[in-house]
Structure 1
């Protein structure tokens, strides 16, 4: 068997050191010494990243090579401290603005299925918005704290655009967040306009906008968009994948997102 790496890839990335040892491909990228082992054949772009460390994914991203090495929709598991095994997927490259204003985050990630616990966006459905809601506090607190240390080490805070209670677009600094209606559907149904831009993953024809829960059933999921004209409600995704909304005090599923 031969090492299945396109020579064009090797020519374009002189810092990529690839060797083969007893049917294992060893890849070293850059000068950090991070290595990842792959059972070959190894074909780019990669669709399953479970054999790569989060550190190496970050290094490739920071080198500006993520879009060449990784496929849109490529997946990787993370083993959370609370015992939950979560799978993430790449939903875009160079999409979100870094909160330190240094440019774009190389990779934006979306949870493939819903998180194990449902949450409410605002207790008792008081008037609220993403900047003030309990859902945001949970995601950037308890959820973020339960990510693996390796993943937390490379998560990059980004600016997210969301309407406040008055319908004015404001930006918040988030490590973990939910997609807006515009980011998922590429348009607005019940939310205010201006809440970011359509992610490339969801532009694909016949992409299933719904999410499955732990019982492998289609289930509701919250979005971060407040319902335009009624700040007691947030937008959500119906079990069919259609746009919907609900009072924020109801318990619904979430599919957290983040950037590396």
Structure 2
């Protein structure tokens, strides 16, 4: 069981864009290294078990790694925590506990063009409950226009995250194939604070949707070798099924990917970056 994060969750005002399907713009400040309190948080994190890192320490480590790469004194410990699947936890505003882990290091591009987000996280349990991608059987507009994207970035699912976590999340650019008719054989960009992984980000050997996250690559996950992607819960990806409108791909409890109707409820494993 992951150690509970020992921070009080002070609700912090967050500037969110209007419109449920527009995601969130702006995002992280330029990562310029750790100074003052951030430096102290990095040193404190290095000195303790990774599972006990606070949100402040996670953010400080992420920004230090973004600024210094493998030269960061926290890099080796963060990578070891990622490879080991170390779990963190945070209490949602609905009272449930969301568990999550590091899945990427200097992987995602910050939406403001200032560089990379030092750490990427993905949740590992069903604390946000079973949710649909869209209210009807449609995949038109893909992840970009989906109801679920809006809810995760500005709506009720975003509001489940405690203010202290919301204030640390950085907007990143995500690439996704958003055309369900197969007419566009390429990806397009969205700006997101909270997102679902694409099948490419999990399995690697897929056509569209970014690049495989380091955690899944370290587990040797591919379309044909998927045990490293297994979990208790089957959960959505943001990847639609081309040429077959109305369906998105999801990760089964066995780790393989399948296709399901966009209006059917399945677990949501939100991901974000510091």
TM-score (norm 1): 0.76
Structure with more relative contact order (C-alpha pairs < 8 Å, separation 6 or more): 2
* 2:266 match: secondary structure: coil
1:98 matched to 2:118? The reply is: no
1:257 matched to 2:271? The reply is: yes
> Structure 1 segments of 4 or more deviating over 4 A?
33-36
Indicate conservation of the 8 Å contact 1:130/1:224, yes or no: yes
Structure having the higher helix fraction is: 2
Aligned counterparts of 1:239 and 1:207: Cα–Cα separation in 2: 9
1:186 matched to 2:190? The reply is: no
CA-atom RMSD in angstroms = 2.6
Which consecutive residues of structure 1, in runs of 5 or more, have no partner in the other structure?
A: 1-28, 213-218
Which consecutive residues of structure 2, in runs of 5 or more, have no partner in the other structure?
A: 1-33, 66-71, 221-225
1:82 matched to 2:94? The reply is: yes
* 1:98 match: secondary structure: coil
1:163 matched to 2:199? The reply is: no
Question: What's the CA shift for 1:240?
Answer: 1.5
Aligned counterparts of 1:95 and 1:196: Cα–Cα separation in 2: 10
Structure having the higher strand fraction is: 1
Q: For residue 69 of structure 2, what is the aligned residue in structure 1?
A: none
* 1:55 match: secondary structure: helix
TM-score (norm 2): 0.72
* 2:99 match: secondary structure: strand
Count of residues in correspondence between the two structures: 218
What does 1:51-200 align with in structure 2 at a 5 Å threshold? 52-64=53-65, 65=72, 66-70=74-78, 71-72=81-82, 73-128=85-140, 129-140=142-153, 141-165=155-179, 166-167=183-184, 168-188=186-206, 193-200=207-214
Decide which structure has the larger Cα Rg and report it. 1
Question: What's the CA shift for 1:53?
Answer: 2.4
Indicate conservation of the 8 Å contact 1:211/1:221, yes or no: no
* 1:150 match: secondary structure: helix
Question: What's the CA shift for 1:33?
Answer: 7.0
Aligned counterparts of 1:102 and 1:74: Cα–Cα separation in 2: 28
Indicate conservation of the 8 Å contact 2:128/2:157, yes or no: no
Query: For structure 1, which segment, 201-210 or 172-181, has the greater mean C-alpha deviation from structure 2 after superposition?
Result: 201-210
